[in-house]
Chains A and B, each alone.
Chain A
Amino acid sequence: MSDQPEKTQQTPTPPPEKRTLIQRIFVRRGARDTVLIPILAIFTAMLVGGVIIAVSTPEVRDAWRQFFQAPWEAIKITIETVWNAYVALFVGAFGSPSEIVNGFRTWIQTGNSLTLLRALRPIGESLMLTTPYIFAGLAVALGFRGGLFNIGAEGQIFVGGLAAAFVGYSFKGLPWIIHLPLALLAAILAGAVWGAIPGFLKARYGAHEVINTIMMNYIAFRLADYLLQGPMSRPDRMPITPDVLPSAWLPTLLPSPVRVHLGLIIALIMAGVVYWFLWKTPLGLEIRMAGANPRAARYAGIRIAVIIVLTMALSGALAGMAGANQVLGVEHRMVRAFSSGYGFDSIALALLGNSHPLGVVLAAFLFGFLQGGAAQMQATVGVPIEIIKIIQGLIIIFVAAPEIIRSLYRIKTKEEKEKLIAKESQISS
């Protein structure tokens, strides 16, 4: 093709083309980078995690001490240990395939569903753990798209949880069709206000949102401490709120012991809503424009200050929903340590998902299933749960520093750059 310069002349007017979801994702980074880098990052992190699992297992260390006597033994034990750990992780996250098949068989043959439900519990747990990640990841992703770094998702989750719990236990006698939406709405509003405050401080006074969202986190944590010990605490003065009435619970999708609940469905719907909002509505376009180039947005007549406050409020609202999800769907009350850092993990998650709703959902599933499998891994092969945090951390490092992955797997960037330049000269010639 190189000896046909005529071919490089582009037809100036291609027909208007329908842009698919996938094309949309690829607009920001190269198609290959968006998909390949996260996948290779996960793979590499699992490899490094395997090394850490091996090193941290006493049997493996002992075997290596005997390396010169029995080299194959050492290697065999190492591989076995890592393999068993990851199998346990997989079974912990998805459940045992044979048990699930068995359960189905029993259910069909006898009509007794308990075996099946027991077998499905692990995957249900993983999905339950995934749900708050989706909400919080969407919150941070929306902020990123608007050029705002919302570090305050954790605090927004807390105030959302508090609001949901308050509505959940104090409004008595409402039918669920009113009570549940009301509790959700309270959480959304609380999160939105918590997000909008740093947004306003930035828009009005130029205070950086990173600092102020962090500060708002501290305020939210201490506010929760105070409310749980005083005004909102249970009659027995434990730092726990009274139980949320069942009319405000997010109903489970399957009978006990599977705990995954309606929150998952709402989260997936919200992912769709966020996608629609950001890419299909004028307001979403304004948010993305303000994020991508605030000067051009101003030139285009957008009131940046309003957009900043709005973006932060919406981001906070989504995080608030994560709080409501935990209170109404999992804990059924507000307790001190009810979030366990979803708000912070979600920053990494949004990065992994390229701040795109679809990417966020996929990344949330990854995190949820890693968490879900971790407990099983600790129970059966004695690998500490913390290894999962290490793997998560490694994934994020590799995604945030794609050069590591590129050099590891010899993905040539120079070629890419040349391609880009070629494309440019192609266009202008």
Chain B
Amino acid sequence: MPPVLELKGVTKSFPGVLANDHIDLKLEKGEILALLGENGAGKTTLMNILYGLYTPDEGEIIIRGNKVVIHDPRDAITYGIGMVHQHFMLVPVFTVTENVMLGIEKTRAGVFLDRESVAQEIREISERFGLKVDPNALVEDLPVGLQQRVEIIKVLYRHANILILDEPTAVLTPQEVEDLFKVVHSLVEQGISIIFISHKLNEVLEIADHITVLRLGKVVGTTTPDQATLESLASMMVGRTVLLTVEKQPAKPGEVVLEVSDLSVLDDRKLEMVKGINFQVRAGEVLGVAGVQGNGQTELVEALTGLRPFKRGQISFLGQTIKDVSPRKIREIGSAHVPEDRQRDGLVLSFSVADNLVLNTYYEAPFTKGLNLQQNEIDKAASERVELFDIRTPSISVPVSNLSGGNQQKVIVAREFSRPIKLLVASQPTRGLDVGSIEYIHTRIIQKRDEGCAILLVSTELDEILSLSDRIAVIFAGKILAILNAEDATRERLGLLMAGVEESKKPELPAVEQAS
């Protein structure tokens, strides 16, 4: 039997760059092929070719033994190719049924939408593939994991048998990832073939049947999870040996830099998201805050950085009480903040790389003299930082939106690390980044720690927490359930705490009892 999908010598070049260079790919029926590569390796271009968004310059696409030409997404759907994008294409105020039927609406008597029969079909699809979701629920009420299911159902409803999942786990919690993997397995059992795009090595090893690694537009190799290791995949992907765990010396904690006691913070809806939290961060240590997203981390960080007023409690930074103090003042005392959403909070995308590198220091000498910005000084500092932090950009004057995610994050890190700081609040510092960039940013964070900076690391990635932290606080429903020393923290223990299961033995801080 011929493979379900075969690519032969697919080549696509853009002015000045070869995005795909003679790519060969084979997808057998009912298998999971992982496409692994760093950002910019050409994964997305390749999938866009497959989905009819680009026309290849050369090469053949063969589906079930027949050579085909895919002109547009409609062709792709006809050939049974379905794509679940990283950013969902759903209408939040529509129901699941309405979203699924959107574009191929079923009607009764030609005018009335036939919601009921579509809902019935959705139930059947749910049943068959283990994709439980209420067809009548509004999409905006569903958690991210379920929204993704709706996307998958949408594709299955259009009778896709080749499913492309583009970075499907990027937005999911660990539990949701597990659920997704179950769904993926049941899809494969029913004969659907899956291309799973990712740059997360452990996921790929866990789920794939075959792994094809792309680098700089070329296929570097194809392997299987039995033959590959995390290290071998990483070096295939990056082209050199990569340190997956940061090498670090034991911390030498100094004075208390940040002290938080009985802190309560409300969110925009006036709900109490942080409920009486206590902790300390000392100079020269990394305190990791682990937790599933949405358990109060955002509000905690915003309160610490002056972006959100807090209701109750005390924050003391280097002995100064931080209450109703502006973000600028807190920064001037010596705090740095890597925000969780770099594009929304950390950068002005339409501004140049240079302007973004001085986004919060532009008003200080030497960048401003008298009434005028000193563009020469800004450019000089920017060029130095671009070099020092290895930011890949064609020039310092291009909009920062032209840079890849990893390089955008480097811009923020360069900006925040280029001044003397006593405290670093890093929120999801490596979300969505490739292995090379993660390694780089982790090394920089540990370097700052060793220089005597106090570091509060907030992350939903357990691997990140475990590899960087000296102590780990687990946050659940706005409370810190426990603060563990890194050597006592196992993945299982943290996982249980993150799910809200409190340990029978008393955590080390009495403050927790106070809070609960």
Q: Which residues of A does B touch, CB under 8 Å?
A: 1-3, 5, 7-8, 10, 12-17, 19, 23, 27-28, 280-282, 285, 288-289, 292-293, 295-303, 418-429
Task: Name which of A23, A27, A293 has the most chain B CB atoms within 10 A of its CB.
Answer: A293
New contact pairs (5) apart from A296-B347, A425-B41, CB-CB < 8 Å: A8-B17, A281-B372, A421-B14, A425-B40, A427-B40
B21 touches A5 (CB 8 A): yes
With A282-B368, A289-B359 in contact, is A295–B18 under 8 Å at CB?
no
With A5-B21, A27-B399, A300-B359 in contact, is A14–B39 under 8 Å at CB?
no
A-B CB contact pairs (8 Å), 25 listed: A1-B15, A8-B18, A10-B392, A12-B393, A16-B396, A17-B396, A285-B373, A289-B351, A289-B359, A293-B350, A299-B327, A301-B328, A302-B328, A421-B14, A421-B45, A422-B19, A423-B16, A425-B45, A426-B16, A426-B17, A427-B393, A427-B403, A428-B39, A429-B40, A429-B41
Interface residues of B in 339-396 (CB under 8 A from A): 339, 344-352, 354-355, 359-360, 362-363, 367-368, 371-373, 375-376, 379-380, 382-383, 386-387, 390-396
Contacts of A293 in B (CB 8 A): 344, 347-350
B394 touches A418 (CB 8 A): no
A422 touches B15 (CB 8 A): yes
Partner of A301, one of B326, B354, B375, B390: B326
B147 adjacent to chain A (CB < 8 Å): no
Q: How far is the CB of A422 from chain B (nearest CB, A)?
A: 3
Interface residues of B in 17-44 (CB under 8 A from A): 17-19, 21, 38-42, 44
Partner of B360, one of A12, A299, A418, A421: A299
Q: How far is the CB of A99 from chain B (nearest CB, A)?
A: 47
Interface residues of B in 39-76 (CB under 8 A from A): 39-42, 44-45, 54
Task: Name which of A289, A302, A426 has the most chain B CB atoms within 10 A of its CB.
Answer: A426
Contacts of B350 in A (CB 8 A): 27-28, 292-293
Q: Which residues of B does A touch, CB under 8 Å?
A: 13-19, 21, 38-42, 44-45, 54, 216-217, 305, 307, 326-329, 331, 337, 339, 344-352, 354-355, 359-360, 362-363, 367-368, 371-373, 375-376, 379-380, 382-383, 386-387, 390-397, 399, 402-404, 406-407
B379 touches A16 (CB 8 A): yes
A10 touches B393 (CB 8 A): yes
B404 touches A301 (CB 8 A): no
A421 touches B19 (CB 8 A): yes
Instruction: Name which residue of chain A comes closest to B399, CB basis.
Output: A27
Task: Name which of A5, A14, A27, A301 has the most chain B CB atoms within 10 A of its CB.
Answer: A301
Q: How far is the CB of A120 from chain B (nearest CB, A)?
A: 39
Contacts of A281 in B (CB 8 A): 371-373
With A299-B346, A425-B45 in contact, is A285–B395 under 8 Å at CB?
no
Q: How far is the CB of B270 from chain A (nearest CB, A)?
A: 15
B406 touches A280 (CB 8 A): no
Contacts of A28 in B (CB 8 A): 350
Instruction: Name which residue of chain A comes closest to B43, CB basis.
Output: A425
Contacts of A16 in B (CB 8 A): 354, 376, 379-380, 382-383, 396
Contacts of B383 in A (CB 8 A): 13-16
Contacts of B394 in A (CB 8 A): 10, 14, 423, 426-427
A14 touches B395 (CB 8 A): yes
Contacts of A424 in B (CB 8 A): 40, 402-404
Contacts of A292 in B (CB 8 A): 348-351
**A293 vs B348: C-alpha distance when bound (angstroms):** 6
B307 touches A298 (CB 8 A): yes
Instruction: Name which residue of chain B comes closest to A276, CB basis.
Output: B372
A428 touches B15 (CB 8 A): no
**A27 vs B54: C-alpha distance when bound (angstroms):** 27
Contacts of A427 in B (CB 8 A): 40, 392-394, 402-404, 407
Instruction: Name which residue of chain A comes closest to B395, CB basis.
Output: A14
**A409 vs B359: C-alpha distance when bound (angstroms):** 39
3 closest cross-chain pairs (CB), A and B: A422-B14, A301-B328, A428-B404
**A398 vs B170: C-alpha distance when bound (angstroms):** 40
Contacts of B406 in A (CB 8 A): 428
Task: Name which of A17, A281, A423, A425 has the most chain B CB atoms within 10 A of its CB.
Answer: A425
**A14 vs B379: C-alpha distance when bound (angstroms):** 10
Instruction: Name which residue of chain A comes closest to B364, CB basis.
Output: A282
B19 touches A296 (CB 8 A): no
A296 touches B396 (CB 8 A): no
Task: Name which of B41, B45, B349, B394 has the most chain A CB atoms within 10 A of its CB.
Answer: B394
